[in-house]
Amino acid sequence: MKKIIFCFIFLFSVVTALYGEEYQEPISKYKQNYFIFGNSEDQTKFQLSLKADIIYPFNTGFLFGYTQTTWWKVYNGADTMSSNYQPEVFFRVESKKNIFGNADLGYIDYFQISPFYHCSTGVEGVDHRSINLYYAQIQMSIGERFNIGDNFKVFGYYNKSSQNPDIEKYKGYYENDIFAKIFSSVVPFIEFHFKHGGTLNKGWLACELQTVLFTDKFQPKLFFQYFYGYGENMVFYNKKEKSFYAGLIF
């Protein structure tokens, strides 16, 4: 699995080198990219997430995405990691930026459909976990200076590893993200997310807050994340966890 991931990253780099100057942004940010710090038990966590056009340089909406979330125990000389590796392919239609004449979708920001999403720990043995999914996702929002919306995703399972045969009891079949973004003269930017998913008895919820330090042109932003429930780290998918992190989002 790791060799496949490294091959994808290498291909990303080659495409950028060949076409980066001739065409604009062959690779762009997908989900959140951050580095955050917790207590002595949670320690550190970081995430890298990118997407790229499959049929480049044409704006077809067929994309490849790669997200890696890593929990890194590095305090006091410890040096252990566990990761969720998440490659996927999907078709996305964004409002005012799509193959249908850049159609305005109104309150719909985008919708996307994925025939294949994979998530695994990238290791063999007792810590091996993996799932293959398909999903549909839609985001809707309203407002400019005060933007509120919802991102809803439903998914199904192609197959699951023998090490996590009951994972659907913890991750369920949906994820939901209610968010608000505030742009004002007092605080240039604040963004809040309330996320939840899983099942009625063994679900999860997360709260996230990000804000600029001084101005909207200053990067990176401050980022705070709270998680409670099951299924975030694939290794411990059936163990209830609680964590709080603070750090920077890029």
The CA-based dihedral angle spanning residues 2, 6, 12, 16, taken in that order and rounded to the nearest 10 degrees: 160
**pLDDT at residue 6, as a whole number:** 47
Whether 23 has a pLDDT exceeding 50, the answer reads no
Rounded distance between C-alpha atoms, residue 120 and residue 128, angstroms: 7
CA 78/CA 100 separation, integer angstroms: 52
Judged against a pLDDT cut of 50, whether residue 18 lies above it is answered with no
State yes or no: pLDDT of 184 exceeds 70: yes
Query: Given this model, what pLDDT does residue 200 score?
Result: 87
Overall average pLDDT of the 25-42 stretch: 91
Tell me which range, 17-21, 219-223, 244-248, is most confidently predicted by mean pLDDT.
244-248
36, 44 Cβ separation under 8 angstroms: yes
Alpha carbons 227 and 37: distance in angstroms, whole number: 13
| pTM: predicted TM-score of the whole model, two decimal places | 0.86
Burial (Cβ within 10 Å: 0-12, 13-18, ≥19) of residue 26: middle
User: Rounded to an integer, what distance in angstroms lies between the CA atom of residue 38 and that of residue 108?
Assistant: 35
Q: What is the mean pLDDT of residues 86-114?
A: 95
156: exposed, middle or buried (C-beta count within 10 Å: 0-12, 13-18, 19+)? exposed
- Average pLDDT over all residues of the chain: 88
For the chain, the domains span: 2-249
Q: Which residues pair with 226 in a beta bridge?
A: 207, 244
- Binned at pLDDT 50, 70 and 90, residue 217 comes out as low
Provide the residue count of the chain. 250
- Beta-sheet strands, E only, within the chain: 27-29, 34-37, 44-53, 62-73, 80-94, 108-120, 130-142, 146-160, 174-182, 190-197, 204-211, 221-229, 241-249
Q: Is the domain defined by 2-249 classed in CATH 3.30.1960.10?
A: no
Q: Is the pLDDT of residue 58 over 90?
A: no
Element (H, E) at 14: helix 2-19
CA-CA distance, 44 to 37, in Å (whole number)? 4
Range from 114-118, 179-183, 224-228 carrying the lowest mean pLDDT: 179-183
pLDDT confidence tier of residue 26, bands split at 50, 70 and 90: confident
Q: What pLDDT was estimated at residue 55?
A: 87
